[in-house]
Amino acid sequence: MWYEQIYSSVITVACVVITMHIMLPVNLIETGHVHRRNMHGYMYVF
């Protein structure tokens, strides 16, 4: 039904958000910065 798409997308977004929040402290511990690679040269927006 139509509601299955809604709660499926909510679950998907929640999993992505949880993964991003888990990766941040792990990257800080292992590499000392937020991203795995040095992304400073790629960021044109910031």
Picking from 15, 40, 35, 12, the residue whose alpha carbon sits closest to that of residue 24 is 35
pLDDT, residue 13, reads 94
* Average confidence (pLDDT) over 5-14: 94
Number of domains present in the structure of the chain: 1
Domain that holds residue 7: 1-46
Give the predicted TM-score (pTM) of the model.
0.53
44 touches 36 (CB < 8 A): no
pLDDT, residue 37, reads 67
Q: Cα(36)–Cα(26) distance, rounded to whole angstroms? A: 10
Phi, psi for 40 (deg, rounded to 5): -65, -35
* Average confidence (pLDDT) over 16-25: 83
pLDDT at 5 > cutoff 90: yes
Which uninterrupted H or E stretch holds 44? none
* Average confidence (pLDDT) over 16-31: 81
> In terms of pLDDT, which residue wins out, 44 or 31?
31
